[in-house]
Chain A
Amino acid sequence: MKVLVPVKRVVDYNVKIRVKADGTGVDVANVKFSMNPFDEIAVEEALRLKEAGKATEVVLVSIGPAKADDTIRAGLAMGADRAIHVKTDETVEPLAVAKIIAKIAGEEQPGLIILGKQAIDDDSNQTGQMLSALLGWGQGTFASKVEIADGSVDVTREVDGGLQTVSLRLPAVVTTDLRLNEPRYASLPNIIKAKKKEVAAKTPADYGVDISPRLEVLKTAEPPARKAGVKVGSVPELLDKLKTAGVL
């Protein structure tokens, strides 16, 4: 069984972004980029399936600018076998991302596609669900445990009230939550090896997908700022303040 893992290049989670003064977007010049943390978890899960003999090959997909090559190489250095880079400098909304990945799935015929539950830049939390809809496959979102059985996969999901386990017919789509695993670090020899792994260069047009946006961003603004308050010296003083504030 082949496992497909879409990986996205995003602003590193440690960076506190700044909104551009003219309201046209977020200033991402000269900030650090990394693989979306949920996608690292997705790559790790795919590699563990391969190491357990449940998967035969791990193929990465990234849709994005030339620089997304760094993200792809990071995933190859973790141990993925090869990758497909769909190059574009345009904004690609989740629906279009899902359409491209669906076309790739048609060519690659994976048994499982593992995505992150959300990208930490746009926080959409949509792509995996859209992809499974387009493919007509089952979906196991927000996974904290994935167990492959014969022709099916059991996915334990983090839901509002606790945990839910569903069984999906294969092929299926899984999206990762934080507790699924702890991703490995790439070793130096693997980083060097990754440079030689195959990365197929494609464009959205190769897949016949129209990526023109459905959403128009009119403005990007700073959220209202919250000011630091006061330090209190003791627990009784804290309680006094809370009473005065009307919340006790």
Chain B
Amino acid sequence: MTVLLVAETQGSALAPATAKALTAALQIGGGVHVLVAGAGVGPAAEAAAKLSGVDKVLVADDALYGHQLAEPLAALIVGLAGAYDAILAPSTSSSKNVLPRVAALLDVAQLSDIIKVIAPDTFERPIYAGNAIQTVRSKDAKKVITVRTAAFAATGEGGAASIEAIGAGSDPALSSFKSEALAKSERPELTAAKTIVSGGRGLASAENFKDYIEPVANRLGAAIGASRAAVDAGYAPNDLQVGQTGKVVAPDLYVAVGISGAIQHLAGMKDSKVIVAINKDEEAPIFQVADFGLVADLFPALKELDAELAKAGR
């Protein structure tokens, strides 16, 4: 049994999601090879080789993979698939795009977003926005799996795997990259952050979102999240959406401000270690999952929080 783990990269670096999915790959057992595909991804390959338990790193460093387009990337993975019993990737927007394409080309089912490895062919995965957990066994000889990173701790360093360069595959020429608008931020990435401050419709405007959420997030060294309502209204960009159809997070501390706690939002954050809710409506469902609830108008409450944190030297 050998597992091929498809690495997630951020520019030339290895994204933290990879080390989390590696934990699931190691639980499946057998050897683990990591595929790093991208343009200028040498540093990512070196970082992957240092992860504990990795036997080999394959690097496809080519402009063809620079924007992680699904069609060429899937063709590359399918070309390598013969040697592997399972193909895994952290559940990110890139792997969600690519892996089902791989599965279909291999004529196998995909297991999306597993949260536990029960046996090499049996896994737990959430359905209905996390309101039910299925235990599913795959009958396919080859398994294609995405891993919910919030459910697995990262594997540490300590390895010294060999790095093997592989040539680029063919280009199906079905798609081409035009442009991108990626957020530049000094903040920790949402799915890797230890603390998240999230704002909802209660913030009432993009200006308020910036003026009230950002200072507190800065003092806490936190990532910023948002509800769908806040994103739809333009208070925050789409990549900050937490929830069933956004990002799933499980930080040590999640502060929900002006968020009611709809099923779809809870699906993305209810596995956080400590949840704080600030909401003026004491009946808001968010309080049913919050460890600490503050019933208050968020505007004075956030100003006071900012001041108190400043006093405490944060």
* A residues at B contact (CB < 8 Å): 11, 13, 16-17, 19, 26, 38, 93-95, 98, 117-118, 120-134, 136-142, 144, 154, 157-169, 172, 177-179, 213-223, 226, 228-232, 234-236, 238-239, 241-242, 245, 247-248
Is A242 in contact with B103, judged by CB distance below 8 angstroms? no
Per-residue CB proximity of B64-88 to A under 8 Å, as 1/0? 0001011100100000000000000
26 sampled A-B residue pairs with Cβ under 8 A: A17-B132, A95-B109, A120-B128, A120-B129, A121-B128, A131-B104, A139-B174, A154-B178, A159-B93, A161-B182, A164-B179, A166-B177, A167-B176, A168-B175, A178-B231, A179-B238, A214-B140, A215-B138, A215-B139, A216-B136, A218-B136, A219-B135, A223-B126, A230-B293, A242-B292, A245-B274
Per-residue CB proximity of B234-271 to A under 8 Å, as 1/0? 00011100001101000011000000000110000010
Is A130 in contact with B301, judged by CB distance below 8 angstroms? no
Q: Is B283 an interface residue (CB 8 A)?
A: no
Measured CA separation A157–B180 after assembly (Å)? 9
The winner among A118, A162, A215 for most chain B CB atoms within 10 A is A215
Measured CA separation A84–B264 after assembly (Å)? 31
Is B274 in contact with A141, judged by CB distance below 8 angstroms? no
Is A239 in contact with B312, judged by CB distance below 8 angstroms? yes
Q: Is B117 an interface residue (CB 8 A)?
A: no
Measured CA separation A215–B111 after assembly (Å)? 9
Known: A214-B138, A231-B295, A238-B292. A178 touches B195 (CB 8 A): no
- By a CB distance below 8 angstroms, the chain A residues around B263 are 13, 16
7 nearest CB pairs, A to B: A138-B174, A229-B291, A129-B100, A130-B104, A133-B104, A214-B109, A126-B100
Measured CA separation A235–B126 after assembly (Å)? 35
Q: Is B305 an interface residue (CB 8 A)?
A: yes
Is B97 in contact with A141, judged by CB distance below 8 angstroms? yes
